[in-house]
Structure 1
């Protein structure tokens, strides 16, 4: 999904063209068709980047022209700045495969695309409405936030669900929705911990997320049209937040051009003995992500400046990262966490302190009260079409 987001952000002319191959919905024929498409692209000198997934293929044309394709079975996104190159490639694809040219990218894998003068908005409004209908929640009262502040969910507490498969189905759908809705990522991560033995309280919390989505169904993630392709990274954790295991929740956000392109909310795999240790572990995950993102951008021909700023709100964690001297209080931390020090020494990133009030990752590590939730929501670029400057269009400028 990150590569789809980067395709939207980096495409120089913001021109996106979708082609859909019309085949029977059978898995084996689809996979054979997918392999044929990949072989055809290799023959046309399209290759997967060294650090990207095989679903993404790219080719350098004349000058600085770059053509990028994202192939999912037999659905294709085609983008680039050279319209002649794109038209020629579509012609070759049509000769080899019975493609249907959908012209502008408006819908792909359940994700809807809207355009404005200031950028592109990816959202899943239709998916949300279908989900609300399937769980008889189309007329429910909207909630202000994804999770209630005072509810502490624990495993195997309360009456077990009569039909646990309903809970699993709902959480699975919510998880898919996190591709464009980082604001529910923490809630979904929290609810996913109870899939094996869900109880009534867990289902009530999941329905509360649905109530929140009913009031924010048109929200999506926005990518601005800024030409500044610089990276910024934020990381944070909520120490010992799990009521069952006392493990910490950690998260990170990676911004490109001020737009959120990668994020994660996850419970840490080990117990941290202090808040500083928990935040240092979160920092190591963020550094690993930005290492990969910078290499992926290199595949696109985007040179990332060194010393990518990484922001953390804990001075002790920053001190651990900067100080390579062995210390009694940090000797138990695994060596893989010291990956941060290694990348810091390489010059990949620079460490900065950020105040608690400006720590946007709070939205990914804990349930927040309404005003704070919506403040960070806007900082992450999760907006509704009404928030965008200029008229919202179905297709980009210059495309039918």
Structure 2
């Protein structure tokens, strides 16, 4: 695929992948080996995190359409081989993060994809795009589960910084684009319709009340984790990739 024609995005925004898409791939070993290799690449390339997460869900019985989607990721990588994350020694030591969820985006079982990106200063240091367990009954529920995941991650990052003798310059801020989610994290009144989320709810509220972090609302246009929850159109994907912190590597 090194000489293949590059594409601008790792996954087509108009393509819908399901467990029954097209015909079963005759030889699935190449599919599994390729997706397995791509999983390692997500450790340094958050822009392909969603695509690899979605393609990993078909490892047990990949279809020809799934294999075409894998080759599209490779075509995208062939055209962006010099893209990476450049860390600066002048970056401030403050933690902040973005969390988002694509409600019921999985067409097979209507589960949601939760995602987050955590930053140390101006550059991302941790990210995740993962299929949520269980079906969320509202977008707020899906978003709150994603928020819970990033709260746990930010707490771990803060603990790691403490062990390394690094002092954060400000209280970590978590940004989400669901206004109800923001209210729930600070409101002492727990809504009866959300009781099945009690553990997640109290875990987040404990951190907010203890002032170890802050949850803030952000517009959907500025939600950087959006690129890790669903395939996006060309313009939106390129805009978020730049904002996430990916840049052209300097020549060696």
Instruction: Tell me by how many angstroms 1:227 deviates.
Output: 4.5
- Separation in 2, partners of 1:368, 1:227: 29
Max radius of gyration: which structure?
Answer: 1
Question: 1:226, 1:257 within 8 Å by CA — same for their partners in 2?
Answer: no
Change (3 A) 1:272 1:204: same
- Separation in 2, partners of 1:213, 1:270: 32
Indicate which of 180, 184, 187 corresponds to 2:51: 187
- Separation in 1, partners of 2:91, 2:197: 40
User: Mean alpha-carbon deviation: is it higher for 162-171 or for 213-222?
Assistant: 213-222
Change (3 A) 1:308 1:242: same
Question: 2:101, 2:142 within 8 Å by CA — same for their partners in 1?
Answer: yes
Question: 1:230, 1:305 within 8 Å by CA — same for their partners in 2?
Answer: yes
Q: Say if 2:163 is the partner of 1:299.
A: yes
Indicate which of 377, 395, 399 corresponds to 2:241: 377
Q: Say if 2:68 is the partner of 1:196.
A: no
Q: Say if 2:216 is the partner of 1:318.
A: no
Q: Say if 2:213 is the partner of 1:353.
A: no
- State the partner residue of 2:136: 272
SS in 1 for 2:128: strand
- State the partner residue of 1:171: 35
Q: Say if 2:152 is the partner of 1:285.
A: no
- CA deviation digits over 1:58-107, x for unaligned, max 9? xxxxxxxxxxxxxxxxxxxxxxxxxxxxxxxxxxxxxxxxxxxxxxxxxx
Matches within 5 A, 1:58-73: none
Superposition TM-score, scaled by structure 1 size: 0.61
Q: Which runs of 5+ in 1 are unaligned?
A: 1-136, 394-400
Superposition TM-score, scaled by structure 2 size: 0.96
Instruction: Tell me by how many angstroms 1:304 deviates.
Output: 2.4
- State the partner residue of 1:159: 23
- Separation in 1, partners of 2:88, 2:47: 18
- State the partner residue of 2:191: 327
Q: Say if 2:236 is the partner of 1:363.
A: no
- Separation in 1, partners of 2:199, 2:16: 33
Greater RCO, 1 or 2 (C-alpha within 8 Å, sep 6+): 2
- Separation in 2, partners of 1:144, 1:227: 29
Instruction: Tell me by how many angstroms 1:212 deviates.
Output: 0.7
Indicate which of 116, 120, 125 corresponds to 1:256: 120
Question: 1:306, 1:348 within 8 Å by CA — same for their partners in 2?
Answer: no
Indicate which of 209, 233, 240 corresponds to 2:97: 233
Higher strand share: 1
